[in-house]
Chains A and B, each alone.
Chain A
Amino acid sequence: MVHAAIAVALSVPLLVIVWSIVQPSTEVWQELWATRLPGMIRETAILLIMVLAGTLVLGTALAWLVTAYQFPGRRVLGWLLVTPLAIPGYVLGFVWLDALQEPLGARGVRSIWLCALVLTITLYPYVYLFARAAFREQSQRAVDVARSLGCSRAMAFWRVVLPMARPSLAAGVALVGMEVLTDIGTVRLFNVSTIADGVLRVWFGTGNRDAAAEFAVLLIAVAIVLIATERLARGRARFTQTGSRAGLHVEWLYGARAATASAIGWGAFTIAVALPVSRLIAWALEARRTDQTSTVSGDLGFHLISSLQVTVVATLACLGLGLILVAGLNRRRASGSLLARLATLGYTVPGPVVAIGVLVTLAAVDRLGWLPDGWLLVGSFVGLIYALVVRFLAVAYQGMEASITKVSPSVVASARTLGAGRFRVATRVELPLAGAGIIAASALVAMDMLKELPITLILRPFGIETLPIWVWQATSESLWVQAAVPSLAIVAVGMVLVAVLLWALERGAERVSREGRTPDQVLQGKGGHDRA
């Protein structure tokens, strides 16, 4: 019962959007179709292709560098290369915008190319994490056999190692695709008009819910194409090997080659993290000197508390609901999995769409007048959290599901025969064993909440002004110095979350290798639609 209620509550906003297409054709829609829409679709497609290709190459190459080779600084780099995850695209974007304004000119700098470059640099860690897990999981045996069959080391990489990592790479790239589709902050900075940007413009420009909703259907369509492509790419093949998990042999690099490897890794880190952060720090100091460290709503503390409130409450809500759904899965496999699928639909739907869907749904509930006088869901904190949960529950759920269902049935059976009840098994056996996976999932969810812009922008109640909103407002007026303060705060909190994530992944990988499970499963938290 509870599961069904959760599933219904979380899927309604999306069904509302899909429903809107049944009675379509407002004038806004027609006008857009005649004027700007074809351009938006084209720009979205170009941006998507460039970023997908870019993150695929960069993420895979860096992951291979730190898994297959041993050189000074490899271990530290292995972690540091994940940290761009803590810097949202809209932050990295304005830092670069400013840096390149001089050489490229004010107009030249706002191009789709630079936008793609910035998104590639901030989003490659998704591909990197998945690729690294996939490479770590592979066994040297397959490479040995390939070499005995006439492949050189390089050919073995292209014919065996890379194809076997394909599903993980596809999952990582699909995630990147969802982020690109959802992004509004970065594209706005570079004057790239994507579909998501269009949804937002229709909403803020006309206030026409139905037109915005219809527009949103387009985004869902692109997302579905993206996911279907990923599924199709896999077909019937399997990609996991049985048998020993000896791991790939690591090649030691010396001299010039070691220096080159180090230089590539540190170079990527410098461009993606070190330079932008030092620039932000310089700006933040300037902001302090010129007293620009607050907005009309409040100072840094106020905005930080807003952000933390949203992040913590929404993350806890996701974890709680996720646990209930996983428990339902354990009891009744078929219906439980269907309900869970329904409840986590939101992850395949871009943020602006979720926001509009939730808004339409909440407005309808408000009209029913079930709540006491003067209470409205639209524009309330509850409404905002509701929308965030609709969007991100999948991240938490998949992580928990992967870790909890992978606890060996014989371990659970042993616990039961030793006299432990269902509850004791859950708290003393399953949760501790799945702990690392759940922590990793929480860190990922929290990261998403912290950086979230479109949903917060549309649904935030009075008195909640998160850090991203501040960045958004400052950057839309090109006030980089002002934007630096909240940006730095986001990056700081984000780094803490990245540290938690990495710690959990390492711990999970350790425990997993002890139990003969694959490290990839720990990562599945972010692998939303990777799982059938």
Chain B
Amino acid sequence: MKGAPQTRFCKAKVATTVRDPMDITRGAPGVALSVAGVTRHIAGRDVVNQVSFDVADGEIVVIVGPSGCGKSSLLRAIAGLDPIAAGRVVLDGSDVTSMPPEKRRIGLVFQDHALFPHRRVDQNIAFGLTHLDWAARSRRVGELLELVRLPGVAKRYPHELSGGEQQRIALARALAPNPAVVLLDEPFAGLDSSLRDDVRTDVIAALRRRNAAAVLITHDREEALALGDRVAVMSNGQMHQIDSPDELFERPSDRFVATFLGEASFLPDPDARDVVMMARPHDLTLGADGGYDVITARRYLGATWRYRVQRSDGSEVDVDLAGGPGIMPLEIGDPCTVMVDAGHPLHRLPA
């Protein structure tokens, strides 16, 4: 029972950080982007430290982390916009580490969409299509406008579009030259919350329809879990873990990942000193008939009440209890007993 999560944790560790930078199979089938041991220094500090991961064809990898964790620096390094101190970037089987950005076949989408304000929409999309003749170019522009579901805006200027439309055009422009991978830097952060969901859906759908590999950066954990085929968590320039969203949420490799993705409390493992058990608030329940633990705060979340409980050993945990008509909430100061009620063994990670 205890062994399984331990192995899990070790596997994740092996898969992400312990990797030889030279050990890249050139032209590995199905791998669109391969990043190995990439390190960036700015002013003597490692803003990106030995980061490695792969993106498969058609896969959307979301990198999430608090602001300043180095995720944007990583993206710029992949795009070739900033120099890297160590590591390699392999795109579609060819090593592009020493190539300038214009030779790399990368699509870029920024939060502020960075559309060229002096060019019409069609001219924006056609910007990277200089190698095509006029007819092929306008055909491609039409295709892409179709793809992002904005036919009919071709002759408008960017400032004549809404924020969401601008972002979709920015995606169309990035996709136009058929890049090996599309890099999106906080693409939805600048949008109104009312717009954001629709634009998000449209953008992801367009990427899926093109079967484009993409790396998307966000600081919003819900967005990360909702959009990524796989999600990578970064902090302080390091990549902690990269995994499918459910794996990441249920089996985080360390405390940072566990708490960054959602509320989590850590209970001591009775059997091992260097291991703790992660409990999400809904994994716990309270025995209300007295005890040595005390409720110190509570918050109404609609479907549930969330209680903060000070345990007899001094540690604090969060516990969700069902709310609703007829259920009397517990009061602050009430004595109680914290109990595990998860229906599954709690995930264990290093203390």
> Is A148's CB under 8 angstroms from B102's CB?
yes
B117 part of interface (Cβ distance < 8 Å): yes
> Is B112's CB under 8 angstroms from A139's CB?
yes
> Is B128's CB under 8 angstroms from A150's CB?
yes
> Is B127's CB under 8 angstroms from A238's CB?
no
> Is A144's CB under 8 angstroms from B108's CB?
yes
Q: Give the number of residues in B that approach A within 8 Å (Cβ atoms).
A: 36
CB distance from A399 to the nearest CB of B (A): 25
Contact with B along A141-162 (1 / 0, CB 8 A): 1101111111110010001100
B79 part of interface (Cβ distance < 8 Å): yes
> Is A149's CB under 8 angstroms from B173's CB?
yes
Q: Which B260-280 residues sit within 8 Å CB-CB of chain A?
A: none
Q: Which A108-162 residues sit within 8 Å CB-CB of chain B?
A: 139, 141-142, 144-152, 155, 159-160
> Is A148's CB under 8 angstroms from B104's CB?
yes
Chain A contact residues (Cβ within 8 angstroms of B): what range?
Answer: 20 to 34
B119 part of interface (Cβ distance < 8 Å): yes
Q: Residues of A contacting B237 with CB < 8 Å?
A: none
A243 part of interface (Cβ distance < 8 Å): yes
By CB atoms of chain A within 10 A, which of B76, B102, B159 has the most? Answer: B102
A418 part of interface (Cβ distance < 8 Å): no
> Is B112's CB under 8 angstroms from A238's CB?
no
> Is A141's CB under 8 angstroms from B127's CB?
no
Q: Residues of A contacting B158 with CB < 8 Å?
A: 238
B157 part of interface (Cβ distance < 8 Å): yes
Residue from B108, B130, B159 within 8 A of A148 (CB atoms)? B108
Given A148-B101, A148-B174, A149-B127; A141-B112 close (CB under 8 Å): yes
Q: How far apart are the CA atoms of A250 and B170 in the complex, in Å?
A: 25
Q: Which A225-243 residues sit within 8 Å CB-CB of chain B?
A: 236-243
B114 part of interface (Cβ distance < 8 Å): yes
CB distance from A247 to the nearest CB of B (A): 13
> Is A239's CB under 8 angstroms from B117's CB?
yes
Q: Residues of B contacting A244 with CB < 8 Å?
A: 111-112
A163 part of interface (Cβ distance < 8 Å): yes
B226 part of interface (Cβ distance < 8 Å): no
> Is A142's CB under 8 angstroms from B119's CB?
no
Closest to B131 in A: A150
> Is B157's CB under 8 angstroms from A237's CB?
yes
B281 part of interface (Cβ distance < 8 Å): no
Contact with A along B154-167 (1 / 0, CB 8 A): 00011100000000
Q: How far apart are the CA atoms of A290 and B120 in the complex, in Å?
A: 67
> Is A150's CB under 8 angstroms from B112's CB?
no
> Is B102's CB under 8 angstroms from A147's CB?
yes
Closest to B101 in A: A147
Q: How far apart are the CA atoms of A148 and B177 in the complex, in Å?
A: 10
> Is B128's CB under 8 angstroms from A149's CB?
yes
> Is B116's CB under 8 angstroms from A164's CB?
yes
Q: Which A402-457 residues sit within 8 Å CB-CB of chain B?
A: none
Q: Residues of B contacting A146 with CB < 8 Å?
A: 116, 127
Q: Residues of B contacting A243 with CB < 8 Å?
A: 110-114, 190
CB distance from A145 to the nearest CB of B (A): 5
CB distance from B314 to the nearest CB of A (A): 45
Q: Residues of A contacting B108 with CB < 8 Å?
A: 144-145, 148
> Is B113's CB under 8 angstroms from A148's CB?
no
B118 part of interface (Cβ distance < 8 Å): yes
Pairs A-B, 6 closest by C-beta atoms: A243-B112, A149-B128, A141-B114, A147-B101, A148-B108, A238-B159
A binding-site residues for B, Cβ under 8 Å: 139, 141-142, 144-152, 155, 159-160, 163-164, 166, 236-244
A139-B114, A244-B112 known, 7 other contacts, Cβ within 8 Å: A146-B127, A148-B101, A151-B102, A152-B100, A164-B116, A238-B158, A243-B190
